[in-house]
Structure 1
Amino acid sequence: MSLSPYDVLMDFAIMSILLFVAQFLRAKVTIFQKLLLPSSLVAGFLGLFLGPQFLNVLPFSSAISSYAYLLVVFLFASLFIGNEGGGSFKQTMDEVGDTFLLNSGVYFGQYAAALLLGGGLLMVLFPQVPEAFAILMPGGFMGGHGTAAAFGGSFKELLNWDEALPIGQTFATVGLLIGVIGGVIAINIGTRVKATRFIKTMAELPEGMRTGMMPPKEQESMGRNTVSPMTLDPLTWHLMLVLIATCAGYYLTNWLQGLFPSLSVPMFSVSMICGVILQMILKALKLTKYVDKNVVTRIGSSATDYLVAFGIASIKISVVLKYLYPILLMTVVGIASVVFYLVVISRKLFHNYWFERGIFIFGWSTGVVAIGVTLLRIVDPEFKSKTLEDYGMAYVFMSFIEIGLIAVLPTIIVKGYGMLAGGACFIVFLILMGICVKKYGIFKGKAGDLRPGEAEALGIKAVR
């Protein structure tokens, strides 16, 4: 059956209806509000159960399983467009050193746990499972549906393993659920042990976060008009830039593979590089002042919403059932790693506001940064802990670590060096933690004890 342009259009139109229904449910149904479920997650499950694998009442085309990887190529193309760069590495370490070290450590720690612990258990208990299986857990947990699609696409190209994509999307979906539901549970525990600094109970959650619909007084502009609508709509201008990088990535990837048939280059990595080159061209032409990074980010985030929804809706249940026990095993490894990072690493090594900073890491290391922001806003509604500011500054350098691991690890694992890669990640993790201990020390008090600078910043009323 051939696919027409209208099939693609209707797939996105139908998913848009599901996103609308999901957003309405979040705004009106109490259980959705208490669980803080993202609308894209709900829409994805609606698409899965109403789609061809269950009730078969939605006329989705057979192409919906391919949209996740296409959208991740588009998403990666947008990452560096509009970036003006940051300060030096030394400046970052001096100002937000523990944030950089501990947030960077999550990448290496979770990959190490997956490849060493998870990979070792898989070899013993499920020897028939491909070695690449282990890395799909951190790809889904830490990278969300985007990285899961990137890994799935890479393994399809490198190993001709079609099942990698739905398995990765399954891990990403499970990770989101753990991030949201587990994060809410952790916050409730945190308030009881007096670890939170800005709230005492979950009842203080603002209306916009509960319902998903921002009240007029909390609404903000999403960006600036950087070009005149008389010549080109500002949104078209920014969307155009992302599509240019995406186009360049697609054709450059095909050209490279035609030139070097034995070379398999992930398209998402090439599109990201094309985005970097496009940003350099804009800078050379003195056009960067006409690019609003907030608008580009919103465009990328919009793609992520559809990516998540289509990723979940296209999960192949037969594949999940086939690999059910390995999936459960790796999920346990993933949960253990993020809980350990929150209750041990974050509590002992962050110099202040450990719970606020730790719950943010818990959120983004099980799903996406948006989940981390959601959990952070619950415990720090006005962002007084400076967690986001510090993370934003540190991410200038962290992004290279993240992209490098995503681009390099699949190829290394395919060549049979999964355990070696896991060992290298573990060594880097230990080095990062060691530097943090040497520079900031280990906090030896109780979870609820105030840390240096907190009492002065919070005032007398905040002292417990």
Structure 2
Amino acid sequence: MNAEQIGFALLILAILLFAGKWVRMQWRPAQKLFLPASILAGVIGLLLGPGVLGSLAQMVAGPDTALAEGAIPAPMLETWSELPGLLINVVFAALFLGAPLPDFKRIWRLAGPQLAFGLTLGAGQYVVGILIAALVLAPLFGLPLMAGALIEIGFEGGHGTAAGLQDVFADLGFPEGADLAVGMATVGVVSGIVGGIILVNWGVRNGKSAVLDKDIGEIPHSQQRGLIDKTDRPVPTGGMTVRSESIEPLTLHFAFIAMAILIGLGILETLTWIEQHTWGKGKEGLELLGAVPLFPLAMIGGLIVQQILTRIDKNELMDRPTMLRIQGIALDILIASAIASLSLAAIAANLMPFILLGVAGIAWNICMFLFLAPRVIPKYWFERGIGDVGQSMGVTATGLILMKIADPDNKTPAYEAFGYKQMAFEPIFGGGLVTGISLPVIYNFGPWPLFGVMLVLVLLGVGSGLFYFGKLND
């Protein structure tokens, strides 16, 4: 790949993102499902690639036809496949930048039940996945036991985490795992939105909702199309903390992200050096940290940068909405490129294991919502629990969409509790440290140590929720 090829690949990817947005605005099913334009863009790219258009062209006109490899050249797909591993560091580095941690007692009192429920969902995905991998996938289909981590990586982690781990999958001898994880993330997002909307309708009809007393079909058409009404557009998307003649605000905020990533890289290099000179030394040494990705540590770097700026920056240079815009750009490009460069051959070759894991993950999340959430979350369990279900099956945005549908006027503490819970939850699951080390841990130690730890966490989440948080009054 040269610079021109990389630049052209980025231009075409931007066109696909616009095409995805156009589909969202014009196609009713996409509006009803609230599908992000980035997913639609990735699907369009996937359809135009060798896996779909190329295969159809070969079936119709033979292997020598002009479209035998699809309409997207191989160098472009190669460029796109590299983007997720880079951009995931930007997404996670910006996760806490500009968002000072609130009072711990407030988090504990309001978000404790949310955390107990979320912990049960996340850890349980490892428990279910490892059991399926050990009892079915490995003996019957010959898949590595690392397949037991695919549910959590794809569902809790989402497209960004799944794609960001592609190098780790390859290094550990399971390269097709990255494609399975991205496919699992797509299943999670779609099933999260579809299943979530079904659950909201069920909750309204059965009196589970505390704020909705009519059908949810009243969502404004502009919102379904993903547009902001003209009368609301003067609201700024970010604050100008510095004058642009000195430095562009976006440039300054990108510098903060760069600092966070470099700190994370320094932490990773330090840990790797320690490993090489201690337990990983010599031919018989155990290499564990060498397979850990950068993005969880970039998130820690973001926390460090935030804490430093909180203490020394008297001018409040960092603006959280601006940071979210940069994070959003990186995530859109990441998702579109990950899906467009997805290998359908890997999923087709492992279709039955893929279906088993997907169905098991969906069933776990929905069952926990129906039977555990009412007993763990003392007030507004429906509005608060639906956000965790969406987040645990797709991405944080999925949870926010479902909470917006269940509580359109923000009458419950669902958003506040969900946000606080994410601060404590994201560093662990959903692309956090546990997600980052799960594959090398299973590879080096087998599945059962991780299974045991996750089972203990499930019991901790259920027990604390039922016997402590579920009895609180907040």
Q: So what's the TM-score if we normalise by structure 1?
A: 0.87
Counterpart of 1:105?
120
Counterpart of 1:217?
231
Q: Is the 8 A contact 2:93 2:302 kept in 1?
A: yes
Q: Which amino acid aligns with 2:301?
A: C
3-state SS of 2:331 partner: helix
Verify: 1:12 aligned to 2:7, yes or no: no
Verify: 1:299 aligned to 2:326, yes or no: yes
Unaligned regions of 5+ residues in structure 2, if any? 54-69, 281-286
In 2, Cα distance between the equivalents of 1:389 and 1:252?
31
3-state SS of 2:427 partner: helix
What's the CA shift for 1:340? Answer: 0.8
In 2, Cα distance between the equivalents of 1:136 and 1:40?
22
Counterpart of 2:51?
53
In 1, Cα distance between the equivalents of 2:471 and 2:260?
45
What's the CA shift for 1:344? Answer: 1.0
Q: Which amino acid aligns with 1:318?
A: A
In 1, Cα distance between the equivalents of 2:220 and 2:357?
35
Q: Is the 8 A contact 2:97 2:320 kept in 1?
A: yes
Counterpart of 2:428?
401
What's the CA shift for 1:238? Answer: 0.8
Counterpart of 2:255?
240
Residue 145 of structure 2: which of 121, 126, 131 is its match?
A: 131
Verify: 1:166 aligned to 2:179, yes or no: yes
In 2, Cα distance between the equivalents of 1:186 and 1:425?
27
What's the CA shift for 1:58? Answer: 3.4
Per-residue CA distance 1:21-44 (angstroms, 9 max, x = gap): 221221222222122211111111
In 1, Cα distance between the equivalents of 2:221 and 2:231?
11
In 2, Cα distance between the equivalents of 1:61 and 1:399?
30
Q: Which amino acid aligns with 2:293?
A: P
Relative to 1, partners in 2 of residues 1:101 and 1:412: Cα closer, same or farther, differing over 3 Å?
A: same
Counterpart of 1:456?
none
What's the CA shift for 1:284? Answer: 4.9
Relative to 1, partners in 2 of residues 1:248 and 1:288: Cα closer, same or farther, differing over 3 Å?
A: farther
Q: So what's the TM-score if we normalise by structure 2?
A: 0.86
In 1, Cα distance between the equivalents of 2:271 and 2:124?
33
Relative to 1, partners in 2 of residues 1:40 and 1:317: Cα closer, same or farther, differing over 3 Å?
A: same
Counterpart of 1:146?
160
What's the CA shift for 1:254? Answer: 6.3
Verify: 1:206 aligned to 2:226, yes or no: no
Q: Is the 8 A contact 1:207 1:214 kept in 2?
A: no
Q: Aligned pairs, how many? A: 440
Moved more, 247-256 or 33-42: 247-256
Counterpart of 2:244?
229
Moved more, 65-74 or 244-253: 244-253
Unaligned regions of 5+ residues in structure 1, if any? 444-451, 454-464
Moved more, 399-408 or 36-45: 399-408
Per-residue CA distance 1:213-265 (angstroms, 9 max, x = gap): 11123443222111111111111111222134335545775687578385504
Verify: 1:341 aligned to 2:390, yes or no: no
Q: Which amino acid aligns with 2:158?
A: G
In 1, Cα distance between the equivalents of 2:102 and 2:15?
40
In 1, Cα distance between the equivalents of 2:136 and 2:424?
33
3-state SS of 2:426 partner: helix
Q: Which amino acid aligns with 2:443?
A: V
Q: Is the 8 A contact 2:119 2:457 kept in 1?
A: no
Identity of aligned residues (%): 30
Counterpart of 1:64?
80
Relative to 1, partners in 2 of residues 1:258 and 1:346: Cα closer, same or farther, differing over 3 Å?
A: closer
What's the CA shift for 1:407? Answer: 2.9
Q: CA RMSD in A?
A: 2.5
Q: Which amino acid aligns with 1:382?
A: D
Verify: 1:419 aligned to 2:433, yes or no: no
Counterpart of 1:40?
38
Verify: 1:308 aligned to 2:332, yes or no: no
3-state SS of 1:57 partner: coil
